[in-house]
Copies of this chain bind each other. A is one copy, B any other.
Amino acid sequence: MGKVRNVLFIMCDQLRADHLSCAGHPTLKTPSIDSLARRGVLFPQAYVQSGVCGPSRMSYYTGRYVFSHGATWNRVPLSVRERTIGDYLRPAGLRVALAGKTHVLPDTEGLERYGIEGGSALAALMRAGRFEELDRYDGHSPPGEESGYAAYLRAQGYNSDDPWSDYVISADGPDGQPASGWHMRNVHLPARVAEEHSETAYMTREAMRFVEDMGDRPWFLHLSYVKPHWPYMAPAPYHAMYGADDALPLNRDESEWKDQHPVLAAYRRHEESVSFQRPEAPGLVRPAYMGLIKQLDDWLGRLFAQLEKLGRLDDTLILFTADHGDFLGDHWLGEKEMFYEEALRVPFIVCDPDPAADATRGTVDRRFVEAVDVVPTCLAALGQPSYDHLVEGRSLLPLLRGGAVETWRDAVFSELDYSFREARQMLGRKPQDCRAMMVRTERWKYVWWQDFRPMLFDLANDPRELRDLGADPAHAAVRGEMEERLGAWLKGRKTRVTVDDAYVAARTASHKKHGIFFGVW
């Protein structure tokens, strides 16, 4: 093991924290990911800054909370003003590459305003969140021109204009008709794509090719899988590896329907929630979801073996995480977005090859981690400046290397803008009026909702979050304290984005140096 020269930042899409054997899943075995935890540190209390792909990822890529980067939901472009890990690491001489998904939408208005031309390299980088896209594929629509996957599939004999829809997320139905993976009722069937041609296989090979090609030159690779995100259809043999009995017990209770928070009630009326409320749904979908994770773990095993063979395990910082979880029927919900643990808590493993981290290998660190910590951790590991006038997370390096950490955070924060969701229409609200912010401490989870009552959960006495105390008179004081925490956090957002702290320090009380003599008698 040695000094960090490269970073492998692995993200799964919609992977819950509890769906790994190293995190305690009783039937789903993930030995490759577990091996990473053995060589590194597992952080079981890691939280995302938003329970939905876009804003969560933008926090991972910028190191900034959603309130600061402003990409509040999946369809909101990241402002070209925001800097990402690509901006920070490219000047340091690393190739900053992407294989897979980012969910970055181009800030077309911004680019037009700055006169940045469509065909230029700058425009391409700006449109891509400053990742060099080896193969960009977001996974919820047929792969487009920025991916080679469709052409690859056709070359393997999947003859179709849209081989993704026709093979990758399709099965052969019992009546001989194609059965689409968009229908959750079909996801117990095997995909029509061979396992070795599936999305997970394809993107892992893209990553392996990049690592091989790079040789000894330094790199940052974001390997960003589109699975186990819906469509939940897994290729054989993974589609049938697990049954309903292998799934975790459902975390839901009839009592949750009583005195529901208005926004939660609306989300429970969304189609994905209604589908997961069907008695047969969780037992059918969860095994497919588990199969997709098992497949991921197998491919990660191949990637890790290659890294070992090339000596890259010795100089590569590896981070493994997800952009958010998945309810899979818990709390009578499908999808994510609401602030329950199933959506916001994610797997988080960091493997630091530096000998200074030897003492923590294989340990579990229960301190709070947030998605915004990824950027500062990478910057610190690579010996780069901290850009801390912009970056809002904290480097995990002192935790990994057992350094003295005087104080660590005692709360994590997450946000939601539900303006693009049907819930907004159900509740008759305007796009600007659909905000929510969460603060979670060791004991409490508090959610502020714009114009609605807050939510409050006592995680010590109700770890499954079944009893919302948001309207309970006995907990008014706790809500007040949590609201104060939220206010204090908001006031600390890093809004002075054009100049850094050194600039300020160099110009403090310096007016006389600049020929300005105000105040002199």
Contacts and interface: CB of A to CB of B under 8 A. Distances in A.
A433 to B, nearest CB: 9
A309 B517 CA distance: 42
Interface stretch (A67-75, A93-101, A312-320, A372-380): A67-75
Interface residues of A, number: 90
B281 A496 contact: no
A334 B519 contact: yes
A72 B496 contact: yes
A356 interface: no
A71 B450 CA distance: 27
A122 interface: yes
B437 A491 contact: yes
Nearest to A123: B115
Interface string A98-129: 00000000010110011110001010001000
A270 interface: yes
Contact of A521 (B67, B278, B480, B492): B278
Interface stretch (A178-186, A215-223, A293-301): A178-186
A520 B421 contact: no
Contacts of A389: 431-432
B184 A520 contact: yes
A interface SS class: loop
As for how many copies of this chain the complex holds, the number is 2
A486 interface: yes
Nearest to A66: B495
Contacts of A281: 521
A505 interface: yes
A130 B177 CA distance: 60
A141 interface: yes
Interface of A: 66-68, 70-72, 75-81, 87, 107, 109-110, 113-116, 120, 122, 126, 140-142, 180, 182-185, 230-231, 270-275, 278, 281, 334-335, 388-389, 417, 419-422, 424-425, 430-432, 435, 437, 448, 450, 480, 483-484, 486-487, 490-499, 501, 503-505, 507-509, 514-521
27 contacts: A67-B493, A70-B497, A72-B495, A77-B498, A79-B497, A79-B498, A80-B81, A80-B114, A110-B498, A114-B122, A141-B514, A183-B517, A183-B520, A185-B521, A272-B518, A273-B519, A274-B519, A275-B520, A275-B521, A278-B521, A417-B496, A420-B508, A432-B494, A435-B492, A437-B491, A480-B480, A483-B487
Give the 7 A-B CB pairs with smallest separation, nearest first: A272-B519, A81-B81, A487-B487, A182-B517, A431-B504, A422-B509, A275-B521
